[in-house]
Amino acid sequence: MTNDFMEGKTEKGLDEFIEKIKDYLNAKMKLSKLTIIEKGVLLFANVITNGFVIVFLILAFLFGSLGLSFYISSLMGDTFSGFFIVAFAYFLIALVAYLLKDKYIENKIINALIKKIFKDDDGEDFI
Protein backbone atom coordinates (compact mmCIF):
# COMPACT_ATOMS: atom_id res chain seq x y z
CA MET A 1 0.00 0.00 0.00
CA THR A 2 2.82 2.43 0.77
CA ASN A 3 4.48 1.78 -2.57
CA ASP A 4 1.22 2.49 -4.42
CA PHE A 5 0.77 5.69 -2.43
CA MET A 6 4.36 6.82 -3.11
CA GLU A 7 4.11 5.99 -6.82
CA GLY A 8 0.88 7.98 -7.11
CA LYS A 9 2.44 10.94 -5.33
CA THR A 10 5.57 10.71 -7.50
CA GLU A 11 3.54 10.54 -10.71
CA LYS A 12 1.41 13.48 -9.61
CA GLY A 13 4.52 15.54 -8.78
CA LEU A 14 6.12 14.57 -12.09
CA ASP A 15 2.95 15.53 -14.00
CA GLU A 16 2.85 18.90 -12.23
CA PHE A 17 6.53 19.43 -12.96
CA ILE A 18 6.04 18.62 -16.66
CA GLU A 19 3.01 20.93 -16.79
CA LYS A 20 5.03 23.76 -15.22
CA ILE A 21 7.82 23.21 -17.75
CA LYS A 22 5.28 23.35 -20.59
CA ASP A 23 3.79 26.56 -19.17
CA TYR A 24 7.26 28.07 -18.81
CA LEU A 25 8.24 27.15 -22.38
CA ASN A 26 4.97 28.56 -23.75
CA ALA A 27 5.50 31.81 -21.84
CA LYS A 28 9.10 31.99 -23.04
CA MET A 29 7.99 31.39 -26.65
CA LYS A 30 5.32 34.12 -26.41
CA LEU A 31 7.86 36.51 -24.91
CA SER A 32 10.30 35.75 -27.74
CA LYS A 33 7.60 36.39 -30.35
CA LEU A 34 6.64 39.68 -28.72
CA THR A 35 10.27 40.72 -28.49
CA ILE A 36 10.80 39.95 -32.19
CA ILE A 37 7.64 41.86 -33.11
CA GLU A 38 8.73 44.83 -31.00
CA LYS A 39 12.18 44.90 -32.58
CA GLY A 40 10.63 44.64 -36.05
CA VAL A 41 8.19 47.48 -35.42
CA LEU A 42 10.93 49.68 -33.97
CA LEU A 43 13.16 48.94 -36.95
CA PHE A 44 10.31 49.70 -39.38
CA ALA A 45 9.51 53.00 -37.60
CA ASN A 46 13.19 53.88 -37.67
CA VAL A 47 13.39 53.17 -41.41
CA ILE A 48 10.31 55.32 -42.09
CA THR A 49 11.48 58.29 -40.03
CA ASN A 50 15.03 58.10 -41.34
CA GLY A 51 13.66 57.78 -44.88
CA PHE A 52 11.65 60.95 -44.36
CA VAL A 53 14.75 62.81 -43.17
CA ILE A 54 16.84 61.41 -46.04
CA VAL A 55 14.32 62.59 -48.66
CA PHE A 56 14.58 66.15 -47.37
CA LEU A 57 18.36 65.95 -47.10
CA ILE A 58 18.50 64.81 -50.73
CA LEU A 59 16.27 67.70 -51.78
CA ALA A 60 18.44 70.17 -49.85
CA PHE A 61 21.56 68.64 -51.40
CA LEU A 62 20.03 68.79 -54.88
CA PHE A 63 19.01 72.44 -54.63
CA GLY A 64 22.31 73.33 -52.98
CA SER A 65 24.15 71.63 -55.83
CA LEU A 66 22.09 73.47 -58.41
CA GLY A 67 22.74 76.77 -56.64
CA LEU A 68 26.48 76.06 -56.47
CA SER A 69 26.52 75.07 -60.14
CA PHE A 70 24.77 78.28 -61.20
CA TYR A 71 27.07 80.33 -58.98
CA ILE A 72 30.24 78.76 -60.42
CA SER A 73 28.81 79.15 -63.93
CA SER A 74 28.22 82.85 -63.31
CA LEU A 75 31.80 83.23 -62.03
CA MET A 76 33.20 81.35 -65.05
CA GLY A 77 31.09 83.32 -67.51
CA ASP A 78 29.33 80.46 -69.28
CA THR A 79 26.33 78.27 -68.59
CA PHE A 80 27.80 74.78 -68.42
CA SER A 81 31.16 75.02 -66.68
CA GLY A 82 29.74 75.22 -63.16
CA PHE A 83 27.68 72.08 -63.70
CA PHE A 84 30.68 70.16 -65.04
CA ILE A 85 32.87 71.29 -62.14
CA VAL A 86 30.27 70.25 -59.54
CA ALA A 87 29.68 66.93 -61.36
CA PHE A 88 33.44 66.26 -61.40
CA ALA A 89 33.67 67.03 -57.67
CA TYR A 90 30.84 64.53 -56.98
CA PHE A 91 32.57 61.98 -59.19
CA LEU A 92 35.76 62.33 -57.13
CA ILE A 93 33.80 62.01 -53.86
CA ALA A 94 32.05 58.88 -55.20
CA LEU A 95 35.37 57.38 -56.30
CA VAL A 96 36.96 57.95 -52.89
CA ALA A 97 33.87 56.52 -51.15
CA TYR A 98 33.96 53.46 -53.41
CA LEU A 99 37.64 52.86 -52.69
CA LEU A 100 37.17 53.22 -48.92
CA LYS A 101 33.80 51.47 -48.53
CA ASP A 102 35.09 47.97 -47.83
CA LYS A 103 37.65 49.03 -45.26
CA TYR A 104 35.83 51.79 -43.38
CA ILE A 105 32.26 52.60 -44.39
CA GLU A 106 30.51 49.20 -44.58
CA ASN A 107 31.85 47.90 -41.27
CA LYS A 108 30.77 51.04 -39.40
CA ILE A 109 27.26 50.86 -40.89
CA ILE A 110 26.95 47.14 -40.09
CA ASN A 111 28.16 47.64 -36.50
CA ALA A 112 25.80 50.58 -35.96
CA LEU A 113 22.83 48.58 -37.24
CA ILE A 114 23.70 45.57 -35.10
CA LYS A 115 24.02 47.77 -31.99
CA LYS A 116 20.68 49.43 -32.78
CA ILE A 117 18.87 46.12 -33.26
CA PHE A 118 20.33 44.40 -30.21
CA LYS A 119 19.81 47.15 -27.64
CA ASP A 120 17.25 46.42 -24.94
CA ASP A 121 14.91 48.97 -23.39
CA ASP A 122 17.51 50.12 -20.86
CA GLY A 123 20.04 50.91 -23.57
CA GLU A 124 22.25 47.97 -22.63
CA ASP A 125 23.43 45.34 -25.08
CA PHE A 126 20.86 42.60 -25.63
CA ILE A 127 23.38 39.88 -26.42
Cβ-contact 119, 111 below 8 angstroms: no
Tell me how far apart the alpha carbons of residues 97 and 106 are, in angstroms, rounded to a whole number: 10
> pTM to 2 decimals?
0.58
User: At what angle are helices 81-100 and 2-76 packed, to 10 degrees?
Assistant: 150
DSSP 3-state of 106 = helix
* Mean pLDDT (whole number) for 7-17: 77
Tens digit of pLDDT for each residue in 44-94?
Answer: 998 899 999 999 999 999 999 999 999 999 999 998 999 999 999 999 999
Domain boundaries, the chain: 2-117
Tell me how far apart the alpha carbons of residues 76 and 109 are, in angstroms, rounded to a whole number: 39
Tell me how far apart the alpha carbons of residues 126 and 38 are, in angstroms, rounded to a whole number: 13
